[in-house]
Copies of this chain bind each other. A is one copy, B any other.
Amino acid sequence: MPKIVDHDTRREEIAEALWRVVRRDGIRAASVRTIAAEAGWSAGAVRYYFPDQDGLLSFAMDLVSRRVTDRVSAIEPKGSVETIVLRYLDEVLPLDAERRAEFDVWLAFMAQARAESGAGALQEHLGKVHNELRQLCESLLHSLADAGVLRDGLDLRREVELLHALLDGLALHAAIQPDRTTPTRLRQLMRRHLESLMAENP
């Protein structure tokens, strides 16, 4: 009988092993070798999923995107529209160890993409991830606009870019100075920014 491999299950297993390594030792400790050891597989079996370090980072980035998408999809739209929007933003800010590890994957992925010469595969992938977050910002601001809570005369396209830049900048600051840009501070700052866009808080 031929050997049947369920690639979806194996992909899931390797993703879990990768994530355990990232959480425990950081994304920079993740290599074909360390992940194979963690999963109890041969290095050759792991290389099927990512042949090299670029492939590993792409795989890790996909895993992070999927984790964020899963959490965002699970949000129940209860409460005021502002509360709901803040709940979405919580899922993309590095508020706990899991989300900080996700941001570290993004940073390592970004640094590696910048090191590519010309327009490489990682850069294209980076653009895709970047667009996903912008689209989330877009849909959140449109929800606020549809609910009629935004102040008059805002240029929404501009506000999408500002919110998106603020999210990435705050995440960066939490990575650089975690003692200063704490989870509590991140949420306060995000709330203050949203309030500045809303009609009732001039």
Contact = CB atoms under 8 A, between A and B. Distances in A.
A189 interface: yes
Interface string A149-172: 001000100100110111111101
A173 B164 contact: yes
Determine the main DSSP class of A at the interface with B.
helix
Given A173-B165, A177-B130, A115 B28 contact: yes
Nearest to A168: B169
A176 B130 contact: yes
Contact of A165 (B110, B126, B127, B166): B166
Nearest to A175: B114
Given A127-B177, A169-B167, A188 B158 contact: yes
Contacts of A170: 165, 169
- Copies of this chain held together in the complex: 2
Interface residues of A, number: 36
For A28, A104, A185, the residue with the greatest tally of chain B CB atoms inside 10 Å of its CB is: A28
Interface string A92-123: 00000000000010011011001100000000
A65 interface: no
A34 interface: no
A177 B132 CA distance: 13
8 contacts: A28-B115, A110-B111, A126-B176, A158-B192, A165-B166, A166-B169, A168-B169, A196-B196
Interface of A: 28, 104, 107-108, 110-111, 114-115, 126-127, 130, 151, 155, 158, 161-162, 164-170, 172-173, 175-177, 181, 185, 188-189, 192-193, 196, 202
